[in-house]
Amino acid sequence: MDQSKIEQGRLSVARHAAELFWRDGVEKTSGDAIAAAAGLSKRTVWRYFRSKEACIEPLFKITGMRFIELLRSWPHDVSIEAYLHDTLGSMLKTEQEIRDGVAVARLISLLKTEPAIRSAYLMASAQAEDDLVAVVAERSGRAREDFDVKLCAAAAMAAVRVVDEDICTATFTHGRHFEHHEVCDRLSAAIRTAATLPICDPVDV
């Protein structure tokens, strides 16, 4: 089977699993229920994924990659604050991307009460961190293999996770509403604080 079709199939399963986890909880959601919702056989689902919790990894991954893609277009002469304020609101362009973003935010808000899904979240975050290395390397004028570049990417991604968890939990657990500028301020401040290399201001590389 074509690899792109496999990835689309995995993503479709992830979307259904996310909906079931949010509606029914992880413990009460079976692999059979995920397969039925996705219109696939149990055998196919288990060929795609190692566990029911892993079913949501593609959804975490694709939303994380959208943020990394945004950072890849970050101009050298613009600060992190200015760039996120100008672009973050348009990161999710289609209705499907918006639905994915909401589904992921809901899942992130469940991390403390549904710890079984944290491994899927961290697996996807690790992939995003690997891709962030290229952004840090470009803005710092260093090689991707440089230890300091990898350390900076790891620290920045950890900071993003803290902000995501805080905002998503406050939104879906406590009913807090965040304005666009608040989200941008929190993300940019966290990345600036965590960055171990001078990447957040305009750079000359």
Q: Backbone dihedral region of 75: left (phi > 0), alpha (psi from -120 to 50 degrees) or beta?
A: beta
Q: Is residue 75 part of a domain?
A: yes
* Stretch 85-95: mean pLDDT: 93
- Write down the pLDDT at residue 145: 97
Indicate which CATH number applies to the domain containing 37: 1.10.10
Confidence band (pLDDT; 50, 70, 90) for 33?
A: very high
Structurally, how many domains does the chain consist of? 2
pLDDT per residue over 130-183, tens digit each? 999 999 999 999 999 999 999 999 999 999 999 999 999 999 999 999 999 999
- Write down the pLDDT at residue 190: 98
Q: Are residues 95 and 181 in the same domain?
A: yes
d(CA 20, CA 94): 22
Confidence band (pLDDT; 50, 70, 90) for 6?
A: confident
CA angle 192, 198, 199 (to 5 degrees): 70
- Write down the pLDDT at residue 1: 52
Query: pTM for this one?
Result: 0.91
Sign of the Cα pseudo-torsion (86, 99, 121, 113, in order):
positive
Q: Are residues 27 and 127 in the same domain?
A: no
Q: Are residues 26 and 67 in the same domain?
A: no
Q: Are residues 44 and 65 in the same domain?
A: no
Indicate which CATH number applies to the domain containing 174: 1.10.357.10
- Write down the pLDDT at residue 204: 86
User: Does residue 114 register a pLDDT over 70?
Assistant: yes
Domain range enclosing 61? 56-194
